[in-house]
Structures are given as structure tokens and as C-alpha cells.
Amino acid sequence: MTVAGGLRRAGMAVDVAFDGKEALARAAVVEYDVVVLDRDLPAVHGDAVCRRLVADGRECRVLMLTAAGTVADRVEGLGLGADDYLPKPFDALELIARVQTLGRRVRPRTPPALTCGDLTLDTARRVAMRAGSLLALSPKEFAVLQELLVADGAVVSAETLLWRVWDEEANPFSQTVKTTVSRLRAKLGDPPMIETVAKSGYRIRG
């Protein structure tokens, strides 16, 4: 759970599986960008999980973690189809950086700056400004705003926001997305920039 907590604090949505069987079950129904895979998983070994993900044609990137850190072990892990390999113990910041790098290979690269009218989002420094004033956004508010700006005026459903910004800890029947969008609207100020499209979702407008 320490790994999951660190990734969540970095603004990522994270699901956790405690054995290889559960990992495969989750990967069968959720399109993950990156799978952080412990090689020494119970039930189904991490090697078998990696092989299955590759054989099934999953587009997710695999970062394999292991206590074995020799060159031979790394070569073997990459030979299984893993995209990257990190021996234990590792620094949390390095893990986050590697996951972010792998994630960019899956999704289209997000520009370092997103703009709409007088609103600017610096995705690298995670800073948002409107009309020259700094906006005090929570990590979730920032992530929602980023998803809307990347969509460039297209409607983004609440379900998509829940999947992209939150994780398994979010209740799909809650008002989480609606509440976050409401707070975000208030912080963005006037004139309003987020439009609600009935029965469809939300979109940004200049």
C-alpha cells in the first residue's frame, strides 16, 4: 500500500491487487495505462502475469518490481515483455518518474502548457492561473481541469472523469465528480468556463 499511496499523492489513480490472480482479473476489465507488477506475487507469479498481459495484447505498460537486482534478472524480466524494471529497494520519486514516463507512451503526450482564454495550466509544474492570478486547486481539481482542457471543448462524461482522475476507492454512485466540478467552477470564477451538458458530462469553453 506504500507504493499505491505514493502514486496517489503524485496525482495518479491507483487500483491495488494483492495477488497475481486478482491482478489478471482487474486487467481483464480495466484499461490501465501502467501496471506496476511485483515479480514475487502469490497465487499467480508476477512472471506469469506479465506473460499473460503481453499475450492478451494489452496496451498497458508494465513496470516490474523485484528484490533481485542483478543484470541477468533485469534482462530476464524485460525478456518476459516488461517495459521497465526496478529492483528493490527503490526511491519513491524514481518509481513515480518511471510510471509517469511509461504512462506518456500509452496516452498522447500532454503539452507542458494548456490554455483556454485567460486560463493557463502548467502541467509540468502543476500550476494553474487565470487572468494572471494563481488558482489554489486540489490535486483532483487540477486533474479534472486538465482532462477538460485536453478534450479541447469536447464533452467529457462523469464516468470518464471518475475513471481517469479517481480510482477503485471512489464510489461510482456518489456525487464525487459533481462536487469536485462545482468547487472547481467556484475557484475559476467569472465568466464561467465549465459547461454542464445534460445527460452527457462537462466541457470547457473560452
- Domains delineated in the chain: 2-106 (3.40.50.2300), 113-204 (1.10.10.10)
Q: Compute CA 161 distance to the chain's CA centroid, rounded to the nearest angstrom.
A: 11
| Arithmetic mean of pLDDT, 93-121 | 81
Q: CA–CA separation, 120 vs 8, rounded Å?
A: 24
Average pLDDT, the chain: 85
Is the predicted pLDDT of residue 196 greater than 90, yes or no? yes
Spatial contact of 85 and 77, defined as CB atoms under 8 Å apart: yes
Phi, psi at 78, each rounded to 5° = -65, -30
Q: Mind listing the pLDDT tens digit for each residue in 156-182?
A: 998 888 877 876 556 666 788 899 999
Residue 66 is classified by DSSP as: E
Q: Note the pLDDT of residue 68.
A: 64
Is the predicted pLDDT of residue 195 greater than 90, yes or no? yes
pTM for this one? 0.56
Q: CA–CA separation, 159 vs 174, rounded Å?
A: 11
Q: Note the pLDDT of residue 172.
A: 61
| Arithmetic mean of pLDDT, 70-86 | 74
| Arithmetic mean of pLDDT, 95-114 | 77
- How crowded is residue 6: how many other Cβ atoms within 10 Å of its Cβ? 16
**Bridging pattern class, strands 84-87 and 61-66:** parallel
Spatial contact of 19 and 44, defined as CB atoms under 8 Å apart: yes
Q: CA–CA separation, 193 vs 206, rounded Å?
A: 6
Three-class secondary structure of residue 75 per DSSP: helix
Predicted confidence band at 133 (pLDDT cuts at 50, 70, 90)? very high
- Percent of residues, the chain, with pLDDT higher than 70: 87
Nearest to residue 120, comparing CAs of 151, 142, 138?
142
Is the predicted pLDDT of residue 106 greater than 70, yes or no? no
